[in-house]
């Protein structure tokens, strides 16, 4: 993970130009810099690794759903066939 370099002086100057008092501008720039340096941003390799893990989880979930579906459908289809056979025999 990486952090973003951040120019607090430049931000404070822009905030002052926009109408902030010098104290407000310094405080806002300092707070934003602290928030941005405290949080680490993911790199492309971090995102690729996360994508691979999610792909594995999704594939597993799909396989589980398919097996559950087959576990329910096969007995139902056999029961339906038996019911149809019994009805045909009665007619």
pLDDT, tens digit (0-9, with 9 covering 90-100), for 1-25: 555 677 888 989 999 999 999 999 9
Q: What is the pLDDT of residue 37?
A: 73
Residue 81 and residue 39: Cα distance in Å, rounded?
61
24-to-6, 37, 40, 54, 78 alpha-carbon distances in Å? 18, 20, 26, 43, 75
- Note whether 46 and 1 are within 8 A (CB): yes
The first and second tokens of residue 21, run together, are 């008092």
Q: What is the pLDDT of residue 34?
A: 81
Closest CA to 26 of 39, 43, 14: 14
Biggest alpha carbon–alpha carbon distance for the chain: 95
Q: What is the pLDDT of residue 60?
A: 95
Q: What is the pLDDT of residue 2?
A: 55
pLDDT digits (tens, 9 = 90+) for 26-64: 999 988 888 777 667 778 999 999 999 999 999 999 999
Whether the pLDDT of residue 80 is over 60: the answer is yes
């Amino acid at each position: 993970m990486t952090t973003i370099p951040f120019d607090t002086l430049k931000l404070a100057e822009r905030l002052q130009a926009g109408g902030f008092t010098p104290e407000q501008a310094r405080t806002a720039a300092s707070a934003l810099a602290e928030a941005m340096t405290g949080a680490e941003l993911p790199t492309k390799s971090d995102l690729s690794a996360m994508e691979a893990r999610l792909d594995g989880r999704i594939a597993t979930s799909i396989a589980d759903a398919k097996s559950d579906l087959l576990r329910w459908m096969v007995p139902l289809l056999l029961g339906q066939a038996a019911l149809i056979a019994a009805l045909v025999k009665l007619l």
